[in-house]
Amino acid sequence: MDKASHYVELLLGLSAKPDDITFGQIALRAILVYSALIAFVRMGKKRSLGQATPFDAVLIILIGSIASRAVSGTTPFFTTLFAVAMLIFLHFLMSYLSCLSMSFGSLIKGHPTVLIRDGRVNRQALRAAHMSDDDLEEDLRKEGVGSPTEVGEARLERDGKLSVLRK
């Protein structure tokens, strides 16, 4: 083992059992994982940060689960970071393919659902979205709308938010 590898091993406790990793090693691992995740996310698409769809939420959950293992030492450190990088790359690839094919995009990201058209609530669509009248009214109020009769069209978007176009 060369000198640099020895220092990396010593600092990160790469071959230590999870119970033998020191607080300092965990802290350094956490800093490195955090820094790597920031870099990985910055390489990804910006839209996923502000408008998370279920497609994006799956990635976020997986990244959190896998990255935590690198910090705690229950899986090999660099292998775990590589797995996270591959998930982000796969997410980027699926997103890119979704842009090329509308049907693939709908399969992966879902599609919006019209809940109100010309002031009339589509009860079937509301039930399919598992939304109550109270949920719909709350979302309308957040958009500054007092009644469905004021709405030209309201859609439950792929990210789970209601978008409203007034009459």
Name the residue ranges covered by the structural domains of the chain.
3-107, 112-166
* pLDDT beyond 60 at 49: no
What's residue 71's pLDDT? 92
54 or 116, which is more confident? 116
Q: How confident is the model at residue 45 (pLDDT cuts 50, 70, 90)?
A: low
Using DSSP's 3-state secondary structure scheme, residue 13 falls into coil
What's residue 46's pLDDT? 53
Give me the chain's average pLDDT, please: 88
Does the domain formed by 112-166 have CATH 2.40.50.100? Answer: no
What's residue 56's pLDDT? 79
Q: What are 3-42's pLDDT values in tens digits?
A: 888 888 888 888 888 888 999 999 999 999 999 888 877 7
Percent of the chain with pLDDT over 70: 94
Task: With 0.85 as the threshold, say if the pTM is over it.
Answer: no
Q: If you ran DSSP here, which 8-state letter would residue 109 be given? A: H
- The C-alpha atoms of residue 107 and residue 130 are separated, in whole angstroms, by 20
Q: Which of 93, 85, 91, 97 has its CA nearest to residue 53?
A: 91
